[in-house]
A and B are shown apart, each in its own frame.
Chain A
Amino acid sequence: MLDPSQDTFPKLALQNARRLSGRVAIREKDLGIWQSYTWSQYVEQARLIALGLASLGFTRGDKTAVVGDNRPALYWAMLATQALGGIPVPLYQDSIEKEMEYIVDHAEARFAVVEDQEQVDKLLHVRQQCPGLEYVIYDDAGGLRHYKESCLLSLEDLQERGRKFAQEHPGYFEQEVAKGTAEDTAVIAYTSGTTGQPKGAMLSHRNLIETARSAIERERLDASEEVMAYLPMAWIGDHMFSFSQSMVAGFTTNCPESATTVLADLKEIGPTYFFAPPRIWENILTSVMIRVDDTAWIKRRLVHFFLDLARRVERCRLAHRRPALRDRLLYPLGRLLVYGPLRDNLGMSRIRIAYTAGEAIGPELFEFYRSLGINVKQLYGMTESSALICIQQDGDVKLDTVGPPLPGVEVRVSPSGEVLYRSPGVFQGYYKNAEATRETLEEGWVHSGDAGLFDKDGHLKIIDRARDVGRLAGGTIFAPKYLENKLKFSPYIKEAVCVGDGRPFVAAMLNIDLASVGNWAERRGLAYTSYTDLAQKPEVYELIRQEVVRVNRSLLEDEALRGAQIRRFLLLHKELDPDDQEITRTRKVRRGFIGQKYAPLIEALYGAGDSVQVEAQVTYEDGRTATVRAAVRLSDAETFAVAGAPA
């Protein structure tokens, strides 16, 4: 149970300001230099924002839309809103206007605190449709000098108003904070949703604090941790790690300079506690491999030799076996020559705990990082559970599970195979959507929508989305995401969509990774003009075919899934893009939508021809649309029977 003196985030922050006053709460790299703010400064900044908002007529229950890259000012704005009994609504910063408009309208946000001109422009447009949005407050004034809208206000001006308001209303901030209770809604997190309109999950202070605390205790986190805040603030994971857990444990959150500098900033900060979805782990690996391939052959050989060795050792460790003597002897040398320097170069040498979640991670990818000695663990959770349900325990990590439930969390698998859970972190319901709440939340149990099962050690194993798991015409289980993750481990494949439910065999539509395939093509002197052109080169098809065959061979190891090998594939003429609604902002494939949009391609995969004409609508970042026409090739790939020979 929560102590009423620290049962909301504003109360926790005030307590941190007393208890940890000199410790750094948040850092950001601004104009090339890391600027630090202590807990006292964190609270003072939030206090002035809160009082400024109060001077504009903010009342309890009002919502503040928060939009932008991870910036201290935006975290302060969330705390300020909570201090006044309001509810922050973080939005994805790369949303197009239409999406923002839906959420601002649905959440009835009266205030918006945004990062810069880019977001101001969007919100000013949104405001034309949502007159309920009264004020737009910005942090970075660049380019806004000539904006005359009366609803616009800089954060500095807001804080100045706050100072004046404080003189007229002494003690106002403290009184408002004291009014808050654990059951107040702390945040409305809109889920990106692979189907339909986004839903606003309401999470209370109790939900988030109790979940944060139980994970902090289990993982033994303390005020000395350093975490990177670089994933969208609208995503519950960032809210949990960079805001909730940081408040509860008192550790430091670091905001990178810009989205493009994350890897360099990572190196400077050297986080101890790090979270990345599989796609980021993948990007980092791809960038490492590109650099390795560009080095002299002797270094390349050395790196590959030791990485292979590390992988063998890690496989033994995971299986609780002793590695071969030769490998045991050579491993320390590898640490000296390759693993240590590589970890240091990635900024990962101080990591105590790293997580991957959001999607199942390809086993090869997972092994790679663990074999370098980075304690990457899998985690399972979702917005509706305050981000956390299961976490793998140190020393008890498996490739294909997400570990046992956290203390206080109950998980069971329904007869139909769906994962259900109940915990103190279970959300209060969807904002203004009682019907969706009823469908999801049954007597305290949440329907996760994921298909899963428990293994013999009580670890939960997630196979796929419950509704995506299907069967081939022959009856073999077809779990598309499982195959897609295996495909995406290839540095050359960025996205993959597998089809096969009710079909005679599995077929795949793939996106090449422009950076690595482009680099590959350059090294071979292969000229290309555009993404579409590169994707349709016969040489690139051959390259990818080998990757598909590799996946097919690896499927042999899995008895249940070995019948679902990929027999035919094509390389898409354009990248799957959230602006075209093909994937969500968190890069989850929207299967239904793709199934419809690419129906002619899918039919062609199951037809006899070796190419197909396509025409596609693309949406640019400014909302304009255009049509792309291309001929897409189709290619076969070998499949294998148990003996390992082509079937």
Chain B
Amino acid sequence: MREPTGPPAIPPGEPLLAVDEVSVRFGAIQALDRVSLEIRRGEIAAIIGPNGAGKTTLLNVISGFYHPSEGHIRFEGRDRTRLRPYDVAALGVARTFQNVALFKGMSVLDNIMTGRLLKMRGSFLLEALYWGPAMRQELLHRAFVERIIDFLEIEAIRKAGAGTLPYGLQKRVELARALAAEPKLLLLDEPMAGMNVEEKEDMCRFILGVNDEFGTTIALIEHDMSVVMDISDRVIALDYGRKIADGRPDEVRADQGVIDAYLGVSHA
């Protein structure tokens, strides 16, 4: 089995993902207005901004759910502006959702195994018979998934139904499923929303761990400023669909434009 950290084609610090002058319009609403940014290999980048600033739209554009009206997106140096979500996933981008999107009727283990689907090869018939190469393949995938279960400390709920779990654990399972795809870029949409302090601390630890142990590049949307300041290498601030700041956490926190956006200075 391949190690989760493939040899980097581009050296660390180089852009893994480049968003170039991207605009998205929904009717009369300008959700993103000529936004340009880079996510660099190996970093944890936080995307912040007030409600409606366009953060989730940006994530949806990156993961192929929306296509930009203008501009380009490059992943590992290649243009892939108009790919479908499953093509994007095949390229190595995985994500979690603001509202947990697990298969509620399935067990935690099965949910995480679905994250391996793109890595599975083989004929439908062999899979159905669970025979020969299909079985060997399943065992390898299961072994990989077990490493993630161990890493995220969810052994005790492996066989529990995903829908029966408390919210904080569901978020963790969703992260596990995203990791199962061995992504090069992991997109997290508000991974700590609705969590208590202890759950947030756990999640921070896991996010830092994923970045450290698996070498995964992470872009996350988060509202909790103390979390953002603690774990991110770089912060990108959006407001009304425009990028208003991009830099180290302390720089962005001190930025007047960001402070205004959050405190609601008149834009008239």
Q: Is A261 within 8 A of B156, CB to CB?
A: yes
Partner of B155, one of A145, A146, A257: A257
Does any Cβ of B come within 8 Å of A143's Cβ?
yes
CA distance A260 to B150 in the complex (A): 12
The distance from the CB of A216 to the nearest CB of chain B, in whole angstroms, is 33
CA distance A541 to B149 in the complex (A): 41
The distance from the CB of A622 to the nearest CB of chain B, in whole angstroms, is 10
The stretch of B46-54, B94-102, B140-148, B174-182 that contacts the partner chain: B140-148
- Chain B residues numbered 138-167 whose CB sits less than 8 Å from any CB in chain A: 142-143, 146-147, 149-151, 153, 155-156, 158-159
Q: Is B155 within 8 A of A32, CB to CB?
A: yes
Nearest opposing residue in chain A for B147, CB measure: A31
Q: Is A260 within 8 A of B155, CB to CB?
A: yes
The distance from the CB of B73 to the nearest CB of chain A, in whole angstroms, is 32
The distance from the CB of A50 to the nearest CB of chain B, in whole angstroms, is 28
Q: Is A145 within 8 A of B213, CB to CB?
A: yes
Does any Cβ of A come within 8 Å of B212's Cβ?
yes
Partner of A32, one of B142, B153, B209, B212: B142
The distance from the CB of A145 to the nearest CB of chain B, in whole angstroms, is 7
CA distance A257 to B159 in the complex (A): 14
When distances are taken between beta carbons in the complex, the residues of chain A under 8 Å from B155 are 32, 257-258, 260-261
- Chain A residues numbered 195-210 whose CB sits less than 8 Å from any CB in chain B: none
Q: Is A31 within 8 A of B212, CB to CB?
A: no
- Chain A residues numbered 127-148 whose CB sits less than 8 Å from any CB in chain B: 142-143, 145-146
Q: Is A143 within 8 A of B213, CB to CB?
A: yes
CA distance A260 to B158 in the complex (A): 12
Q: Is B158 within 8 A of A32, CB to CB?
A: yes
The distance from the CB of A434 to the nearest CB of chain B, in whole angstroms, is 45
Q: Is B146 within 8 A of A260, CB to CB?
A: no
When distances are taken between beta carbons in the complex, the residues of chain B under 8 Å from A142 are 151, 213
The distance from the CB of B4 to the nearest CB of chain A, in whole angstroms, is 13
CA distance A615 to B212 in the complex (A): 41
When distances are taken between beta carbons in the complex, the residues of chain A under 8 Å from B142 are 32
Interface flags, A240-269, vs B, CB<8A=1, else 0 = 000000000000000001101100100000
When distances are taken between beta carbons in the complex, the residues of chain B under 8 Å from A260 are 155-156
CA distance A146 to B211 in the complex (A): 13
Q: Is B146 within 8 A of A145, CB to CB?
A: no
When distances are taken between beta carbons in the complex, the residues of chain B under 8 Å from A264 are 156, 159
User: Which of B142, B143, B156, B209 gathers most chain A CB within 10 Å?
Assistant: B156
Does any Cβ of B come within 8 Å of A33's Cβ?
yes
When distances are taken between beta carbons in the complex, the residues of chain B under 8 Å from A33 are 146
When distances are taken between beta carbons in the complex, the residues of chain B under 8 Å from A261 are 155-156
Query: With A143-B209, A145-B213 as given contacts, are A32 and B156 in contact (CB-CB < 8 Å)?
Result: no
Q: Is B153 within 8 A of A143, CB to CB?
A: no
CA distance A33 to B146 in the complex (A): 9
Interface flags, A560-582, vs B, CB<8A=1, else 0 = 00000000000000000000000
Nearest opposing residue in chain A for B144, CB measure: A31
When distances are taken between beta carbons in the complex, the residues of chain B under 8 Å from A31 are 143, 146-147, 149-150
Interface flags, A395-407, vs B, CB<8A=1, else 0 = 0000000000000
User: Which of A31, A142, A258 gathers most chain B CB within 10 Å?
Assistant: A31
- Report how many residues on chain A are interfacial, defined by Cβ distance under 8 Å: 12
Nearest opposing residue in chain B for A256, CB measure: B155
CA distance A145 to B142 in the complex (A): 25
- Chain B residues numbered 156-210 whose CB sits less than 8 Å from any CB in chain A: 156, 158-159, 209
Q: How many contacting A-B pairs (Cβ < 8 A)?
A: 29
Nearest opposing residue in chain B for A621, CB measure: B198
- Chain A residues numbered 230-247 whose CB sits less than 8 Å from any CB in chain B: none
Partner of A258, one of B151, B156, B213: B156
When distances are taken between beta carbons in the complex, the residues of chain A under 8 Å from B151 are 142
User: Which of B142, B150, B155 gathers most chain A CB within 10 Å?
Assistant: B155
CA distance A142 to B149 in the complex (A): 13
CA distance A146 to B208 in the complex (A): 13
When distances are taken between beta carbons in the complex, the residues of chain A under 8 Å from B158 are 32
When distances are taken between beta carbons in the complex, the residues of chain B under 8 Å from A32 are 142, 146, 149, 155, 158
Partner of A145, one of B150, B153, B159, B212: B212
CA distance A142 to B156 in the complex (A): 19
Nearest opposing residue in chain B for A259, CB measure: B156
CA distance A260 to B152 in the complex (A): 13
CA distance A637 to B156 in the complex (A): 40
Nearest opposing residue in chain A for B156, CB measure: A260
CA distance A264 to B69 in the complex (A): 53
The distance from the CB of B76 to the nearest CB of chain A, in whole angstroms, is 25
When distances are taken between beta carbons in the complex, the residues of chain A under 8 Å from B156 are 258, 260-261, 264
CA distance A145 to B215 in the complex (A): 12
The distance from the CB of B165 to the nearest CB of chain A, in whole angstroms, is 13
Nearest opposing residue in chain A for B151, CB measure: A142
Nearest opposing residue in chain A for B148, CB measure: A31
Interface flags, A570-602, vs B, CB<8A=1, else 0 = 000000000000000000000000000000000
CA distance A260 to B153 in the complex (A): 10
Partner of A146, one of B147, B159, B212: B212
- Chain A residues numbered 1-33 whose CB sits less than 8 Å from any CB in chain B: 31-33
CA distance A33 to B158 in the complex (A): 12
Interface flags, A308-331, vs B, CB<8A=1, else 0 = 000000000000000000000000
When distances are taken between beta carbons in the complex, the residues of chain A under 8 Å from B213 are 142-143, 145
CA distance A143 to B209 in the complex (A): 7
When distances are taken between beta carbons in the complex, the residues of chain A under 8 Å from B143 are 31
When distances are taken between beta carbons in the complex, the residues of chain A under 8 Å from B150 are 31
CA distance A145 to B209 in the complex (A): 11
CA distance A260 to B160 in the complex (A): 13
CA distance A260 to B155 in the complex (A): 8
Nearest opposing residue in chain A for B205, CB measure: A143
The distance from the CB of A148 to the nearest CB of chain B, in whole angstroms, is 14
The distance from the CB of A265 to the nearest CB of chain B, in whole angstroms, is 9
CA distance A33 to B153 in the complex (A): 15
Nearest opposing residue in chain A for B208, CB measure: A143
Interface flags, B109-152, vs A, CB<8A=1, else 0 = 00000000000000000000000000000000011001101110
CA distance A257 to B149 in the complex (A): 11
- Report A's interface with B, CB cutoff 8 A: 31-33, 142-143, 145-146, 257-258, 260-261, 264
* Apart from A32-B146, A257-B155, A258-B155, 18 more pairs, CB < 8 Å: A31-B143, A31-B146, A31-B150, A32-B142, A32-B149, A32-B155, A32-B158, A142-B151, A143-B212, A143-B213, A145-B213, A146-B212, A258-B153, A258-B156, A260-B156, A261-B155, A261-B156, A264-B159
Residue contacts A-B, CB under 8 angstroms, 10 given:
A31-B146, A31-B147, A31-B149, A32-B142, A32-B155, A32-B158, A33-B146, A143-B212, A145-B213, A258-B155
Q: Which 7 residue pairs across A and B have the least CB separation, nearest first?
A: A260-B156, A31-B146, A32-B146, A261-B156, A257-B155, A261-B155, A258-B155
